[in-house]
Chains A and B, each alone.
Chain A
């Protein structure tokens, strides 16, 4: 077992440095890149926290849709192939819910402030 701090805490510290020091002291393009770097670390932080649960649930939904378990990547590829061949359509039970939930979970990690994500969440409430 690794000693403290945790990976998440280390990333938090680096992101805080980028946001509170680097972005303020750099100018022009370098300041922009520091912001991009801080945003990238924020994605990693959210993924460390939310990723394992999201991927476990995604895999369970895929296994139910496809009728067998497997590696997440393999199951995802199989679903993609079956949508393309027409074997599974949007009318198939569970497919819409799976696509929505999987995508909402992905965007919650990648870009929770994205306008399309907010739109989808508002529709969810309706």
Chain B
């Protein structure tokens, strides 16, 4: 049984982490993305229990991860480097190797807290946390963008031009013409700024990938889309209207204002954010999310994922069309 093998393999790792005689308890699957599995468990032994998370390739097999995703080993190396730079991340406890027999992946600390945007934005418990969150996001992004990545292999370099090209190819491959997306691609091409000096960027810094407690930001998760790119990409992505979850008046993730994000960025040594560039990436991010919604329908149609959720998300592409029109067409 695969589950027995996983339990036994993690048991052996528990002994390395918590000493001889340690075992694991409470193993349960949290989510199953197409690109990775997430499991929760605790070590139990003579010392205090350690709450942990395993992230590994599906079924423990090496697979080609989606799109521009980096390998799990690279992801672990980036997270460890982020911790050194003072970014709130889960501590990497262990990186799997061949001898563990569990495939590619790593074990990290399990941090309690909330990731669901609607709760963070609407529940009283997070009212205090919300106030400082945009500033904290700015600080965190400045620290991420300062990370020295020398010695970390496998991080793709993705400035503006290659990203626009990638998403144009994906959009064309589906052969479902969207005049609004054409307008957006044209705007992006006509208004493309010079490539920035490239830094490590998180690549998916938004609600859902941030663990928040009542006191504020606890950890940044999901580093699989990390790459070397334009730092303003991260600032633009968290402002995409889709990540505001209905709170459009607060452009930063539905909880804050641009100026709070930019002030946090400056305070942590990131320098002056470039609002025009942030807006450019916000437009690109909106288009990107729209194309991702279309791609998910492809996964439904090919049979890769026959769930209602996967099918219905295609009907969210039109939300990004209205957002693109709001951003680009009512300027006059």
Contact = CB atoms under 8 A, between A and B. Distances in A.
B321 A103 contact: yes
Given A36-B308, A40-B311, A84-B186, A111 B316 contact: yes
Closest 6 A/B residue pairs (Cβ): A80-B177, A83-B182, A106-B318, A115-B248, A110-B315, A116-B322
Interface of A: 33, 36-37, 39-40, 43, 76-77, 79-81, 83-84, 86, 90, 96, 98-100, 102-104, 106-107, 110-111, 113-120, 123
Contacts of A83: 179, 182-183, 186
A96 B186 CA distance: 15
Contacts of B185: 84
Contact of B322 (A81, A96, A98, A103): A103
B180 interface: yes
A119 B325 CA distance: 11
11 contacts: A33-B307, A43-B315, A76-B179, A80-B177, A83-B182, A83-B186, A99-B179, A100-B329, A107-B318, A113-B246, A115-B241
A100 B307 contact: no
Given A33-B309, A40-B312, A100-B325, A116 B319 contact: yes
Nearest to B309: A36
A90 B179 CA distance: 11
Contacts of B177: 76-77, 79-81
B244 interface: yes
